[in-house]
């Protein structure tokens, strides 16, 4: 959570207006994304890593109720005193909670009751905004960014859920997603070398794991100017790479064998023997020119080795992204076609923001002199800094305006239900 400098009256009024707009926009988008769901759609949990849509809607509401309203609004009365046990996620300081794997057992409250809960809390937060202290407003902004993260999780969890259904249902329809124009041949762009500053600069919102800004050293390197495409991934597959142990990390090779992995998640051939991909708009032929997505760190690392390259470090990625606009790219704006798109234009380096999260070679670890945010919200990032890898750049399911150059996402190396893809790097 960021720290505010003292504001004058006019600046404080502008900050209040900005917070109202942000809060209303974020809360409305979550409702819009779930408008087509039945109660059954919103209740089911397809795997332990995923959560029901209904839980996402309620948990993000609980966050505002627990961290803002009950702490800073004296006359606030909780919507239902039983809800914290059901909708707390992992905050030990906030008391008892149900197991993550049991979230799909929550048949009640209904989806309609969850929507009533959201409306109740929204009204209370909106009414309280003009009287909240700077510390409370910090928590509102944190809550908005937290909900944007859950908007992406909500979509990827629904995608995983719908993919288990033999009827291959679509969350929403869209135009054909194939493209006529192939992307340009991959080019290499020399990266910054020497001492560079990475991490959040202190202006605007950031999560604590993005701080403090610090100096690191970059050896001579180059980055691919675009993401790896489905065509290039098919070449990797056709070369027998899922059967070649020399390309894989030991844990990755064990994962490939144990899980019988032969293609990215949501790829299948069926009776036609033509590769197709399941998405939020249903089952369609693979767009050969779009970035490959739903691949694990293990797969990304093996592909890079097969291609005679490697994955970039997060510092290399950030040093390139610092020069670009983080709101420019294929990102989430509304309930519409959510899918990666082929690279366009002739910019020096493309697709750094949006389309797919890019695996890096960097473990998710604290920066030098890292200090978690005090209090229960300090459990947000720091306690997960073990055995995970950093991803950068956002995806087609990341709300526009949420991601920035210093943003650090993180997942375990076997996970691939998120929109995760690959950019290559090389040493010089």
Res. 177 pLDDT band, cuts 50 70 90: low
pLDDT of 351-403, one tens digit each? 999 999 999 999 999 999 998 878 777 767 778 899 999 999 999 999 999 99
Q: Are 138 and 4 in contact (CB under 8 A)?
A: yes
pLDDT at 345: 83
What would the two tokens of residue 50 be? 């995923």
Q: How confident is the model at residue 8 (pLDDT cuts 50, 70, 90)?
A: very low
| Residue corresponding to tokens 């914290």 | 84
Instruction: State the pLDDT confidence band at 176, using cuts at 50, 70 and 90.
Output: low
| Tokens 């249902």 -> residue | 169
User: For 249-273, how does the pLDDT look when each residue is reduced to its tens digit (9 = 90+)?
Assistant: 999 999 999 999 999 999 998 777 8
Quote the mean pLDDT of the chain.
92
Rounded distance, CA 392 to CA 372, Å? 21
Q: Which two tokens stand for residue 412?
A: 């375990």
| Mean pLDDT across 164-185 | 78
Could you give the angle at the alpha carbon of 305 between the alpha carbons of 331 and 321, nearest 5°?
A: 35
pLDDT of residue 16: 74
Predicted TM-score of the model (pTM) = 0.94
- DSSP 8-state class, residue 357: E
Percentages helix, strand, coil for the chain (3-state, rounded to 5) are 40, 10, 50
Q: Is the pLDDT of residue 336 over 90?
A: no
**Dihedral sign from CA coordinates of 3, 9, 10, 13:** positive
Please state which CATH number belongs to domain 188-427.
3.90.1580.10
Among the four given CATH numbers 1.20.120, 1.25.40, 2.60.40, 2.50.20, the one describing domain 9-163:
1.20.120
What's the chain's length in residues? 428
Q: How far apart are CA 341 and CA 178, in angstroms?
A: 9
* Residue extents of the structural domains in the chain: 9-163, 188-427
Residue 12 has pLDDT above 60, yes or no: no
Compute CA distances 422 → 106, 234, 407, whole Å. Answer: 36, 14, 17
Q: Tokens representing 363?
A: 């473990």
- Residue 11 pLDDT > 50: no
**Residue carrying the six token digits 């197709």:** 276
């Amino acid at each position: 959570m960021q720290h505010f400098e003292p504001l004058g009256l006019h600046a404080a009024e502008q900050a209040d207006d900005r917070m109202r707009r942000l809060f209303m926009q974020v809360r409305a988008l979550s409702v819009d994304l779930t408008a087509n769901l039945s109660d059954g759609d919103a209740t089911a949990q397809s795997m332990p890593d995923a959560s029901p849509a209904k839980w996402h809607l309620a948990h993000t509401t609980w966050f505002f109720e627990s961290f803002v309203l009950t702490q800073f609004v004296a006359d606030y009365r909780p919507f239902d005193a039983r809800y914290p046990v059901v909708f707390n996620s992992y905050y030990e300081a906030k008391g008892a909670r149900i197991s993550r794997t049991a979230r799909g057992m929550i048949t009640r409250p209904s989806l309609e009751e969850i929507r009533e809960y959201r409306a109740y809390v929204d009204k209370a937060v909106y009414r309280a905004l003009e009287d909240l202290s700077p510390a409370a407003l910090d928590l509102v902004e944190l809550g908005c960014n937290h909900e944007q993260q859950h908007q992406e999780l909500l979509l990827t969890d629904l995608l995983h859920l719908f993919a288990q259904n033999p009827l291959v249902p679509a969350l929403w329809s869209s135009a054909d997603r194939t493209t006529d124009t192939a992307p340009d041949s991959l080019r290499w762009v020399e990266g910054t070398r020497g001492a560079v500053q990475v991490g959040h600069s202190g202006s605007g919102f950031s999560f604590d794991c993005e701080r403090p800004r610090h100096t690191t050293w970059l050896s001579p390197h180059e980055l691919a100017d675009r993401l790896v495409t489905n065509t290039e991934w098919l070449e990797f597959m056709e070369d027998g790479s899922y059967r070649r142990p020399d390309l894989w990390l030991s844990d990755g090779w064990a994962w490939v064998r144990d899980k019988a992995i032969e293609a990215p998640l949501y790829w299948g051939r069926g009776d036609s023997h033509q590769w197709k991909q399941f998405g939020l708009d249903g089952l369609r032929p693979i767009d050969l020119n779009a970035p490959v997505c739903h691949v694990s760190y293990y797969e990304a690392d093996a592909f890079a080795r097969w291609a005679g390259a490697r994955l970039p470090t997060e510092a290399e990625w950030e040093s390139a992204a610092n020069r670009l606009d983080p709101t420019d790219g294929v990102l989430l704006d509304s309930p519409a076609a959510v899918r990666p798109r082929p690279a366009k234009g002739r910019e020096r380096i493309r697709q750094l923001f949006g389309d797919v999260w890019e695996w890096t070679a960097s473990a998710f670890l604290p920066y030098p002199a890292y200090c978690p945010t005090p209090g229960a919200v300090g459990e947000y990032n720091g306690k997960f800094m073990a055995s995970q890898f950093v991803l950068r750049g956002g995806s087609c399911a990341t709300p526009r305006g949420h991601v920035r150059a210093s943003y650090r996402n993180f997942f375990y190396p076997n996970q691939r239900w998120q929109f995760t893809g690959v950019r290559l790097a090389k040493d010089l």
